[in-house]
């Protein structure tokens, strides 16, 4: 393992490590445009030039391998001058439209120019005009004038998705990024070119002109679009601009996890966040005279607890049916098992919707199972036959049916819900099950609470609360604990982390940034 010295700090690195990678191990950031750790090296932008002792010229840090005894300087006068010259060259034909560019505030061209810029420009000629903002796919807009030809997007389409939609056309100062003839950028991962573009050349059509980035907060989360459990960041504005109908979540971005999704996120998950703000159940509801209407939490939980108590006293635990959901967190599934199985003795409990259609799947990230926590529900032991539970409901054997999240739109299932003696629905959005319920409990989405999911590979990963629960909705854990107390089970859990601690024997902080396999256990507390 060669030992390399960078700006006076030494580090041992594996053979083949480049200077830019070695610098990152030391916490030294070398500016770059074309370099990305998930793409082949291009070495075209020349922003990562560094001075290497005993070499006559500056070297590009992204492609120069570290050798034993190498001494590198990243802040010398020649390096600083080279960066100023490269920025001046890149900005020769760059438009001065930062005030209207959505990349403003998170643009590497802006950031590096503020630090290394050549403020007295030598350029006096007119800028070359190129094609301004135009759609190149359902999610992406291209502005050729802003492009600095780093070729990250073309390398992504060539080496990651292998769909080859984008290429470099023309020569010299007329070179542009554009679509190949007859192509449209509509692959399953097209949104990633927006993330890796270091300037404002590739922008998200849905986010464009919606909100300035400095008004957005960010929080670590997990994608709920499929069983992969890609790591994401939620970009949100808690104030909900536009009033009651305004959106709070503006976009999702991938978050690096070497064990799950690396740097990438599919379009299905990236743009599947609208349910967080749209068509939500905003308050608890009770059915009166054939229609559900909003009410307070005390009224709805009193009625629900009385219905469950009455069924237990008259007919026993076999008269209660529970259908949990693989959209729920590990903590919520653990609590459901604790209340309904351990304390109440309910046997009619399951989670899997037998009519749910599996979706698209590929050999990269996307899974056919569109639930984030199927593995977690299996591990919780909630493996009862949902079809049989609904049949017992239709026949009257089950008097009270408690459904979490599922929207049973299948005619047979819908008919069973209509025949339920008392139907309780707990979920986030209106669906077929909620429409038939006698009591509707308004639950918070994953963006509005803390918890963990277990992906299909058995990796437990944490998501964090980004938003306050919408209107009068509440996190599922709070609803269940409140209901349990009314049923005579005074549980002492205060937060989802208390449940996680009892289940795993460790805190959320012990879980680690990248999660852990479910086989890694500790003594339960």
**Cross-strand pairs, 400:** 320, 422
Q: Which two tokens stand for residue 523?
A: 């003594």
- 25: closest CA among 93, 72, 92? 72
Distances 493 to 95, 218, 445, 478 between C-alpha atoms, Å: 57, 28, 20, 9
Q: Which residues contact 231 (CB under 8 A, 6 or more apart)?
A: 220, 221, 222, 223, 254, 255, 256, 257, 260, 261, 461, 514
Question: Residue 149: left (phi > 0), alpha (psi -120 to 50), or beta?
Answer: left
pLDDT at residue 46, as a whole number: 92
| Contact status, residue 194 vs residue 223, Cβ threshold 8 Å | no
pLDDT in tens, the chain (525 residues): 889 999 999 999 999 999 999 999 999 999 999 999 999 999 999 999 999 999 999 999 999 999 999 999 999 999 999 999 998 888 888 888 888 888 998 898 888 888 877 667 666 777 888 899 999 999 999 999 999 999 999 999 999 999 999 999 998 888 999 999 999 999 999 999 999 999 999 999 999 998 899 999 999 999 999 999 999 999 999 877 666 667 899 999 999 999 999 999 999 999 999 999 999 999 999 998 778 888 899 999 999 999 999 999 999 999 999 999 999 999 999 999 999 999 999 999 999 999 988 889 999 999 999 999 999 999 999 999 999 999 999 999 999 999 999 999 899 899 999 999 999 999 999 999 999 999 999 999 999 999 999 999 999 999 999 999 999 999 999 999 999 999 999 888 989 999 999 999 999 999 989 999 998 765 554
- 299: closest CA among 430, 439, 425? 439
* Residue 500: its H or E element: helix 496-504
Question: Residue 449: left (phi > 0), alpha (psi -120 to 50), or beta?
Answer: beta
Global confidence as pTM = 0.90
Q: Which residues contact 147 (CB under 8 A, 6 or more apart)?
A: 130, 176, 177, 199, 201
Q: What domains are defined for the chain?
A: 3-90 (3.10.20.740), 98-204 (3.30.70.20), 218-276 (2.20.25.90), 285-517 (3.40.50.740)
Beta-carbon neighbour count of residue 181 at 10 Å? 6
pLDDT at residue 247, as a whole number: 86
CA distance 373 to 226: 9
Strands (E), 455-504: 459-463
């Amino acid at each position: 393992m060669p030992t390399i010295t960078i700006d006076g700090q030494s580090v041992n690195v594996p053979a083949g490590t480049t200077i830019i990678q070695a610098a990152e191990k030391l916490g030294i950031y070398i500016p770059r445009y074309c370099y990305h750790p998930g793409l082949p090296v291009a070495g075209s932008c020349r922003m990562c030039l560094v001075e290497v002792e005993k070499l006559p010229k500056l070297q590009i840090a992204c492609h120069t391998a570290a050798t034993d005894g190498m001494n590198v300087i990243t802040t010398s006068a020649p390096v600083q001058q080279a960066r100023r010259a490269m920025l001046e060259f890149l900005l020769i034909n760059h438009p001065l439209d930062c005030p209207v560019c959505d990349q403003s505030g998170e643009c590497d061209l802006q950031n590096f120019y503020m630090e290394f810029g050549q403020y007295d420009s030598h350029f006096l000629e007119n800028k070359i005009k190129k094609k301004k903002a135009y759609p190149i796919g359902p999610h992406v807009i291209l502005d050729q004038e802003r492009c600095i030809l780093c070729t990250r997007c073309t390398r992504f389409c060539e080496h990651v998705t292998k769909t080859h939609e984008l290429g470099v056309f023309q020569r010299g100062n007329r070179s542009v990024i554009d679509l190949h003839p007859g192509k449209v950028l509509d692959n399953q991962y097209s949104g990633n070119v927006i993330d890796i573009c270091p300037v404002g050349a590739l922008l998200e059509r849905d986010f464009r002109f919606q909100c300035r980035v400095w008004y957005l907060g960010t929080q670590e989360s997990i994608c709920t679009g499929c069983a992969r459990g890609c790591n994401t960041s939620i970009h949100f504005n808690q104030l909900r601009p536009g009033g009651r109908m305004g959106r709070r979540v503006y976009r999702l971005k991938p978050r690096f996890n070497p064990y799950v999704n690396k740097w990438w996120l599919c379009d299905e998950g990236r743009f599947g966040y609208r349910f967080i703000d749209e068509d939500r159940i905003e308050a608890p509801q009770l059915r009166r005279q054939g229609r559900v209407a909003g009410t307070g939490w005390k009224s709805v939980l009193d009625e629900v607890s009385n219905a469950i108590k009455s069924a237990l006293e008259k007919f026993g635990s076999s008269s209660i049916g529970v259908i949990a959901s693989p959209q729920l967190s590990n903590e919520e599934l653990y609590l459901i098992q604790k209340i309904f199985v351990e304390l109440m003795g309910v046997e009619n409990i399951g989670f899997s919707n037998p009519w749910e259609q599996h979706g698209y799947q590929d050999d990269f990230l996307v899974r056919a199972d569109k639930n984030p926590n199927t593995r977690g529900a299996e591990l919780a032991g909630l493996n009862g036959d949902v079809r049989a539970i609904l049949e017992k409901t239709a026949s009257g054997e089950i008097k009270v049916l408690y459904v979490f999240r599922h929207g049973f739109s299948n005619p047979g299932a819908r008919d069973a819900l209509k025949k339920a003696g008392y139907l309780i629905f707990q979920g986030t959005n209106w669906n077929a099950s909620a429409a038939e319920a006698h009591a509707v409990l308004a639950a918070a989405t994953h963006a509005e609470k803390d918890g963990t999911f277990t992906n299909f590979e058995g990796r437990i990963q944490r998501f964090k609360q980004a938003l306050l629960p919408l209107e009068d909705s509440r996190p599922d854990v709070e609803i269940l604990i409140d209901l349990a107390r009314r049923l005579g089970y005074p549980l002492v859990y205060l937060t989802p982390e208390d449940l996680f601690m009892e289940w795993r024997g460790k805190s959320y902080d012990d879980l680690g940034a990248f999660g852990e396999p479910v086989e890694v256990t500790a003594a339960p507390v």
